[in-house]
Structure 1
Amino acid sequence: MPVKATCSARLVLVLLIGAGVATLAGCGSFNGAGTRIANIVTPYKIDVVQGNFVSREQVEALQPGMSRQQVREILGTPLLTSLFHADRWEYVFTLKRPGEEVQTRKLTVFFKGDVLDRSEGDTMPTETEFVATLGSKGSKSKVPVLEATPEQLARFPASARPTTPPTAAPLEPASVSYPPLEAPAR
């Protein structure tokens, strides 16, 4: 009996080694296909936006002598405030896009007591300029024109176009009766 058990253990060991070799050989043949698929399928990489965007219009709205609350209403909550520099607020904005250089803009607002003294920082883009940079590179769709030119209007017959805007008859106040809010007392 012990000889028979030894033969079956050897047979199982040989089968396991054979399965392992077959698996490793299979992995080698799929490696090239896996690499080709990985090169075709790329993960989606997102834009990373951090901090407070401050526009040129917001910076221009700042006036020396404003209170801290007024500055907060215009610029929002500062990204950085320091216990050691209580009279200074830091507004930092970072935009990181795949394949592009990181864009960083900084604005520092200085106070004397609770009153705005001055602001220093990078030249900020207008809101329109910033929104234009947010469009993806791949989509170059044109914004449709929202007004018709006289040539486009000439294609339609004059009878189909209203000459004067329609006037609505004045509305009379409707008589509305509401049910009582409380039940009548008995």
Structure 2
Amino acid sequence: MRLSPSSLTRCGLVFAACAAAAGCGSVDAVSHRITDAITPYRVEVVQGNFVSREQVDQLKPGMTRQQVRELLGTPLVTDIFHAQRWDYVFTLRRQGVPDQARRLTLYFQGDALQRFDGDTMPSETEFIAAINKRRGGKIPQLEATEEQLERAGSKPSTEARAQPAEPPPAPAASYPPLEPTTR
């Protein structure tokens, strides 16, 4: 069976279309790999009140609203339709880490805390360790030792500490009047 030139052209076009479609799939796969490797910077978003396990442990039924506010801070959500309920919500969005969201709801009866419920909160050290895992992990030492202070020369010697400091200079004897003397 012989094919006519127009049939050959059609077969060639169909073959070229199939090859192009197959090629697009491999190009698409390569482009997905490239875009997965190169991602734009995503800003860290921290929103709400972080409430630690230590703070939740200090909550006791019967506490006043003011005591709760001093312990946990001002709630993120206070609803006019639910005046007897405070919601503490905390969200953290960081690149390369699943979004974190924690919620604590407090219920009041009048001015007294009745009950509370919500997610299990991490301790302060667990939370800091989770944040530092992403940033390199090592927690810096925040306090200098006695030896480091002396080496830096910022710590006064024991002789200088024993001597009393000189009194500050006396204030100026007269100042100009704040208002005009005559009216």
Counterparts of residues 1-186 of structure 1 (less than 5 Å): 35=31, 38=35, 41-75=38-72, 76-79=74-77, 81=79, 83=81, 85-135=82-132, 137-141=134-138, 143-144=140-141, 146-148=144-146, 162-164=157-159, 165=161, 166-171=163-168, 173-185=170-182
CA distance 1:172–1:184, change in 2 (3 Å): same
Provide the secondary structure at the position in 2 that maps to 1:87: strand
Residues 96-121 of structure 1, C-alpha deviations (whole Å, 9 max, x = no match): 33343332322121211221122223
Write 1 or 2 for the structure with the bigger share of strand.
2
Cα distance between partner residues in 2 of 1:124 and 1:40: 34
Q: Is the 8 A contact 2:52 2:122 kept in 1?
A: yes
CA distance 1:90–1:49, change in 2 (3 Å): same
Q: Is the 8 A contact 2:47 2:90 kept in 1?
A: yes
- Structure possessing the higher radius of gyration over alpha carbons: 1
Gaps of 5+ in 2: 1-23
In the alignment, residue 58 of structure 1 is paired with which amino acid?
Q
Q: Is the 8 A contact 1:92 1:104 kept in 2?
A: yes
Identity %: 48
Structure 1 runs of 4+ with >4 Å offset: 34-40, 152-156
RMSD: 3.9
Cα distance between partner residues in 1 of 2:150 and 2:165: 28
CA distance 1:179–1:106, change in 2 (3 Å): same
Q: Taking structure 2 as the reference length, what is the TM-score of the superposition?
A: 0.58
Gaps of 5+ in 1: 1-27
Residues 53-92 of structure 1, C-alpha deviations (whole Å, 9 max, x = no match): 2123433443433332432343212425372x44222222
Provide the residue aligned with 2:19 in structure 1: none
Q: Taking structure 1 as the reference length, what is the TM-score of the superposition?
A: 0.57
CA distance 1:98–1:183, change in 2 (3 Å): closer
In the alignment, residue 55 of structure 2 is paired with which amino acid?
Q
In the alignment, residue 157 of structure 2 is paired with which amino acid?
P
